[in-house]
């Protein structure tokens, strides 16, 4: 084995690369320490560091796997071994002008021996992680499995822990030893969406809360429920706007909302705007029936100023005697 191994950035290997301070997953870090080798982690989108490896992968895909038929994985592995002997490791490399098998023979004396076997069964846990996507599903073996709506949160990493049971069930948890939030039977098909009907049930929305607040304000609950149901049918896309209009009418004209509700029912006017106009009309009519209050100065209206002749004011101005 070599002293240093080059790895591409992968969620199974590394958690993050903070300016060169690498943080590995617990499982991989345990293996790395056991084997005692250094890590060269490629940068993201860096073709210079991993281009050679990617070219090898393309070579295997196009030269060996493309259009190849096989009945099972054992047969494919046997064919791969034969292909390596005659082509993969035997063919002269275009750039180095050497056969990979010959280069390996020269480099082998510089490699370290693998001292002991490593048992993944004793170190790896049966729970692995998956990322929750925006539509509240996770991917597992070419299928998508639902999790409860609201599990995805853009403020978090959206990592869940999955476990495969002996009876072929998929268990999903938010914490490694936490409560199971989703349980699915593992599908043998590919490209399927396995969904639990309880996962698509939406929590109480803003419209639901506003409707409940409006219903509790009216005396006739049955009548307001009818009116709100009719608004939902007539304005499915603008129901929240209609509810906001009703809420504003309740704040501005609370005394007249019950009478307004009866009138919209009588006239069959299914609109929050019509409800608002009727409530305002009732408010204006009631205001006109109330007599106007006297001004503060009206309490002196019964008093009259004394009337004097012009001679009185002449005498005052000339210093004469007042009469």
Interacting residues of 39 by C-beta distance below 8 A, sequence separation 6+: 4, 5, 7, 22, 24, 32
| Residues 87/100, Cβ–Cβ less than 8 Å | no
Pick the residue with more confidence: 51 or 281?
A: 281
List the beta bridge partners of residue 22.
17
Q: Give the pLDDT score at 278.
A: 93
Domain limits, the chain = 4-110, 125-200, 206-289
The answer, yes or no, to whether residue 305 has pLDDT greater than 70, is no
- The pLDDT tens digits for 109-151 are 899 888 677 665 555 555 688 999 999 999 998 899 999 988 9
- In the predicted model, what is the mean pLDDT of the chain? 84
Question: Coil, strand or helix: which one is 161?
Answer: strand
Interacting residues of 104 by C-beta distance below 8 A, sequence separation 6+: 89
- The pLDDT tens digits for 233-277 are 999 889 999 999 999 999 999 999 999 999 999 999 999 999 999
Q: Give the pLDDT score at 86.
A: 93
Pick the residue with more confidence: 82 or 305?
A: 82
The answer, yes or no, to whether residue 287 has pLDDT greater than 60, is yes
- Mean pLDDT score, 199-223: 85
pTM, two decimals, is 0.36
């Amino acid at each position: 084995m070599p002293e240093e191994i080059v790895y591409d950035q992968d969620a199974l290997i590394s958690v993050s690369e903070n300016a060169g301070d690498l943080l590995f997953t617990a499982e991989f870090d345990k293996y790395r320490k056991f084997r005692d080798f250094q890590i060269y982690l490629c940068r993201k989108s860096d073709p210079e560091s991993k281009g050679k490896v990617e070219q090898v992968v393309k070579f295997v895909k196009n030269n060996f796997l493309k259009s190849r038929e096989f009945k099972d994985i054992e047969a494919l592995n046997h064919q791969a071994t034969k292909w390596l002997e005659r082509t993969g490791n035997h063919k002269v490399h275009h750039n180095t002008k050497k056969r990979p098998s010959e280069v390996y023979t020269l480099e082998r004396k510089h490699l370290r021996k693998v001292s002991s076997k490593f048992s993944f069964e004793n170190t790896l846990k049966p729970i692995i992680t998956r990322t929750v996507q925006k539509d509240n599903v996770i991917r597992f073996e070419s299928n998508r499995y639902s999790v409860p709506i609201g599990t995805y949160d853009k403020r978090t990493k959206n990592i869940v822990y999955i476990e495969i049971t002996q009876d072929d069930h998929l268990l999903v948890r938010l914490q490694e030893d936490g409560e199971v939030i989703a349980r699915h039977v593992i599908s043998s098909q590919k490209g399927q969406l396995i969904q639990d009907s309880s996962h698509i049930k939406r929590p109480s929305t803003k419209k639901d809360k506003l409707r409940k607040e409006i219903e509790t304000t009216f005396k006739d609950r049955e009548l307001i429920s009818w009116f709100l149901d009719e608004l939902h049918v007539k304005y499915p896309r603008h129901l929240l706007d209609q509810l906001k209009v009703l809420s504003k009418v309740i704040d501005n004209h609370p005394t007249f909302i019950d009478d307004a509700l009866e009138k919209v029912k009588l006239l069959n006017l299914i609109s929050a705007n019509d409800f608002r106009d009727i409530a305002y009309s009732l408010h204006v009519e009631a205001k006109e029936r109330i007599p106007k209050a006297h001004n503060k100065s009206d309490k002196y209206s019964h008093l009259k100023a004394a009337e004097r002749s012009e001679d009185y004011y002449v005498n005052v101005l000339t210093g004469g005697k007042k009469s």
